[in-house]
Structures are given as C-alpha cells and as structure tokens.
Structure 1
Amino acid sequence: KQCDIPKIKHGSLYRENVYRLYFPVTVGRWFHYSCDAGFVTDAQQFWDRITCTRDGWSPAVPCRRQCIFNYLENGYSPSRQTKHIQGDSIKVDCYPGFTLQNKQSLLTCTESGWDPPPKCIAVSK
C-alpha cells in the first residue's frame, strides 16, 4: 500500500512543493505539517508528523479547530479562559430565565467554532 500526497484541510505539509516529487510514498514514511491559525495538530504543537499507514494517513484529521471559552453572554462565564478541541463539548449555565438556542445546555467545538454560539437568550413564555 502506498499513500498519495495528503490533503491537509486547514493546514499544509512542510515544504510540500519539494516533497511533492516523492509521492506516492510507502507505509511508514512521515512528513511534518502545520495548521492554520485557529487550528491545532494532534500534539497541539506548531509542527507535527503525518504518517503513511496501511489505512491511509494518520492522523486522519490532522488539523482540528481550537475553540476558546472565555465568555457566555447572559450566563456564567469561566473565571479564566479554557481551550477546547473540535469534538469537545462543555456544559454551561445560563442566568435564570435564559437558555442556549434550542434549550441546549452544551456548547460543542466544531470545525466552524462553537455550536450553538456562546449566547444565552431569554426563555420565551
């Protein structure tokens, strides 16, 4: 099994224009990559490795959104900002008489940011 050049959504392969000549590559080969602003590698470092495996590239999703939680409109904000990675969910508390959209109590970090947005809205009676 061989791997073609990886498509790194929200990131790029280190020196891709040079290494492009070496593809496809055999299982076990790895390359450094970095992520765009607002996204992080698996190791949450600036550079990380992406490796050709029998099942394709690992990690399969090399760059994931990093969401910062530091304020909840009409709700209880954290005492200090916290960082979360795409796929993480956190429970939040709105002020009495307020709720997140769709009466949810969880915010989920998605590829495009928090869902629902960190804003509590008045409960309709």
Structure 2
Amino acid sequence: MTCDPPAVTNGAFQPPKSVFREKDVIRVDCNRGFHFETDNRDRRAECTKNGWLPIPRCILKLCDYPHIENGRLTGYYKNHREKDFPVRLGVTIFYRCLDGYVSKSERTWNLIRCTADGWDPMPKCLSK
C-alpha cells in the first residue's frame, strides 16, 4: 500500500518524497495564519491503507474569546460569546478595564484585532 504526496494548501510537509509507504509519517507545517486542522500537537499524519490519516490540511487560524483579567468585552460579545467565537482574522472588538485598572493606552474602550498571531494588541488591564 502506498500514498501519493499530499497536497497541503497553505502549508508544506516533511520529509519530501514522491511515494510514501503504509505507516510512513509526515509532519505538516502550516503557513502563518493557519494551523493543522486536527488537534494533533505533533502535526503528524500517517499513510494508511485508507490514505492519509488525519488528512493533512491547514485551515485558517481563528481567535478565541479573549479572557481579560480585570477587564471585559462590550456587553454584546460578553452575552453572545458561544455564538460569535472564535472569530475570523481581521475582526475587531472593544474591551474596557474594570474600575481601578487601566489599559496601556489609558483609554476607556480599547480596540483589539484578530491577527495571524492572535489578538493584537494583547488585551491587558494593569493596576492604576
């Protein structure tokens, strides 16, 4: 049993070969802003009699609900977190710090954006 090299859109795999035999293993490296689709810390896929398992696929990285110590999101996002998170790249949301705390910018409402590296800037509330 053999597997053809996988087509990994938005990523690549190692080691490169023209044909893989059953039980051969590859490591998938996804491009910035993408992650290996399955919950597989080693980002590994194996050639099996049924093909590659798991399927080596890189999908768009999304931003989860940001937990802000001593701060909170606007009421809408706080109340709709199950429905609206994770969010896609480019989404912006506002947060504010609780009384006695302040953001680095010292603004009441602060804007954060979902980027390929996560929330930017990382929301943080510091003691006054």
Q: TM-score, normalised by structure 2?
A: 0.48
